[in-house]
Amino acid sequence: MQDSSCVLLFTCLSLASYASVPVAGTNRSLALLHIVYRHGDRTPISTYKNDPYPLSVWKEGPGQLTNIGCKQHYVLGGHLRNIYSDFITGDPHEIHVRSSDRDRCLASASCHLAGMYPPSGQWVWDAKFHWQPVPIHTRPVAEDPVLAPGEADCPEATKEAERIKSSPEGQLFLEKYHKLYVYLTEMSGSLINDWKTTERLFNALYIEKLYNYTLPNWTESVWSNMSYQNDQSFVFYAKTPLLQRLRAGPLLGDITTNMAAASENKSENNYKIFMYSTHDTEIASLREALEIFNNKAPEYCSTVVFELWHEGDDSYSVETYTLDAKHMDPQPLTIPGCGTQRCPLSTFLEVARAKVPADWSRECGLKKVFTFSTTELAIIAGVMAVLVLTVFVIGLYCACNQHNRKKRTIAYSPLPTDLSIN
């Protein structure tokens, strides 16, 4: 990691608070926060066949958060605490934290909370430790469409991704960069044949370069093209409304449900902050779904903040911001469907819910949906009517038969068995 980046990380703590905190002299008040971020700096998840640096050179193991990554989130957590100093009290029970069940996400959440929720007052449990435990909730990635939709089974998303790849637009893109893929395959020793495989290769090289490992000479002439492919991989990841529903919809559903409950005073908990520790793919798909994506691969610690404000006229509005490890100054985002950066809650809910699946499992094709034509329904109704009539007739016959049998029964008294002759 370059020295300048480390200096930036440490100086971020001293940045001033921004306009997202309540403004004195107004009737506005911050009601709820949603903070969604990518994990911090990590080791490569995989390498390529001709890589001179095997995964064994990374002492943390593949795909793990590094010390730099932990420091990034510790700083980011402290920075957000400064920004929302009038909102965050330090009570660890006011925040609900959910993480993807990957070590790098869980560890990022821990480091982030250490910076965001240092103990004070009644929450100090040991004066020697400037840290307090905050629960982090998670689910296995295979069962988590909210924070790991790329790993949760969703056949329809897979089909849609393949459809995009085989579409005229996808094929034109692949044809345009065919020579690049051939070259990368030859040089790397691994099969590179599309934007996704190029992204995986670039990711390994990018991290090695970040840590000052000398890269092979062949990478220099194609670096910018690989970087572009890396960006496009995230564009294609949630390019269509269907992919946005299946990959960002569950998270948007969580966010909109929490906002609606808070605005209607129907929340079943006292949480003021909902925090999500996730991956670059989820950050990209979330921003694509809301049409606020910049078509760039999300940086480490890439964060999207949704502020729910209670206005003076008793209405609610939503403001959206973004920041990351390299750009700690929150930048306002205007959702196109809202028109302005300060979006009425009703409008935000309408825009967001358009991308929320009513039943994710069913829309993914995991539940069998039975449909019948009008003729089939008529036949089924006729059969059911005949069955009901048959049961009724049989029941009536049995009842009449039982009644007649009772009428034919002759009452009698048994003869005594102890008769004596005198």
pLDDT in tens, 43-80: 999 999 999 999 999 999 999 999 999 999 999 999 99
| pLDDT score for 166 | 98
Catalytic residue among 39, 73, 96, 112: 39
Per-residue pLDDT averaged across 122-150, rounded? 96
**Exposure letters 325-357 (e unless 16+ CB within 10 A, then b):** beebebeebebeebeeebbbbebbbebbeebbb
Per-residue pLDDT averaged across 165-187, rounded? 99
Per-residue pLDDT averaged across 99-125, rounded? 98
- Note if 144 is an active site residue: no
421 token code pair: 């002759």
**Helix axes 178-188 and 223-237, enclosed angle (nearest 10):** 110
Q: Which of the two residues, 391 and 150, has the higher pLDDT score?
A: 150
| pLDDT score for 289 | 98
Q: Which of the two residues, 284 and 408, has the higher pLDDT score?
A: 284
In this structure, which topology does domain 3-363 adopt according to CATH?
Rossmann fold (3.40.50)
Sign of CA dihedral 136, 137, 139, 141: negative
Catalytic residue among 41, 194, 254, 280: 280
- The whole-model pTM stands at 0.82
* Cβ proximity of 329 and 20 under 8 Å: no
| pLDDT score for 422 | 37
Domain positions in the chain are 3-363, 374-406
- Note if 280 is an active site residue: yes
